[in-house]
Structure 1
Amino acid sequence: MSTRSQITTHILDLGSGRPAAGVSVRLEQQTDTGWRELASASTDTDGRILDAFPLKVDAGTYRLTFDTQGYFQQQEKRCFYPLVTIAFCLDEADVHYHVPLLLNQWGYSTYRGS
């Protein structure tokens, strides 16, 4: 049986061409009254979080918040976006969702991965 979370992420630092290790990431679910934190973790040496979020989640709206300022401060670099928040909708409850972040000091991009 797999212990991989239903929601996973990874970060590639495009400025260095390397995975972004040690980035704090928070996963939240939208509720009727706001956002509820489900888990938080930091990226591993390969820039990934594969097993720190819930194994199973319901369909709904979620968001990942990445502490990019903390990451760039460790490298003694400035950044324009101190936090990157990616909100996304899960339509199916038993499907794997991978949410990558492509990052540099001055911008970012994301997409639905596999």
Structure 2
Amino acid sequence: MKVLVLGTGMLLSAYTMAADNPLSVHVLNLQTGLPSSEVAVVLEQNKKGQWIKLNEKFTNENGRVTALYPDHKTLEQGVYRVTFKTGDWFKSHNENSFFPEVPVIFNVDGAVKHYHIPLLVSPYGYSTYRGN
């Protein structure tokens, strides 16, 4: 866990800092059973039929992006797409993959404060669900 020391002597973990962010993702490699670090993840929002890019980050050493929604913005209700660039990731590990990317389209209805999108991936299959 990364720790930030503030001038006042307070300690905050990276997880605490991301706690206010309404969207996180997690990528696990089903073939190895290990987290997938350095997977590019793109967040977009559908506005009037057009996908608008909001953010892009890479998964950390634990296969997570703990704060994918843009900082200092309020999550709006609507349709979003998280795209995991799995083909690039597998290629960087000298493996073939059937899926060049995995798009996950989901609806934010305001029912919960935090949305978590886990991705379980292998070179020839994937699964996802609404996590917590």
- The Cα offsets for residues 41-77 of structure 1, whole Å up to 9 and x where unpaired, read as 0000000000242253111100101110111011100
Q: State the match for 1:51 in structure 2.
A: 67
1:72 and 2:90 correspond? yes
Q: State the match for 2:41 in structure 1.
A: 25
Q: State the match for 2:81 in structure 1.
A: 63
Q: State the match for 2:106 in structure 1.
A: 88
1:39 and 2:55 correspond? yes
The one of 85, 104, 108 aligned to 2:122: 104
Counterpart Cα distance in 1 of 2:62 and 2:113? 23
On the 8 A contact 1:6/1:54 being kept in 2, the answer is: no
Counterpart Cα distance in 2 of 1:48 and 1:41? 10
Identity %: 37
Determine which structure has greater relative contact order: mean sequence separation of CA pairs < 8 Å that are 6+ residues apart, divided by chain length. Answer: 1
Structure 1, unaligned runs of 5 or more:
none
Structure 1 stretches of at least 4 aligned residues deviating more than 6 Å after TM superposition: none
Amino acid at match of 2:40: S
Counterpart Cα distance in 1 of 2:120 and 2:93? 17
Structure 2, unaligned runs of 5 or more:
1-11
| Equivalenced residues, count | 114
SS of equivalent residue, structure 2 residue 126:
strand
Q: State the match for 1:11 in structure 2.
A: 27
Give the greater-gyration-radius structure (CA): 2
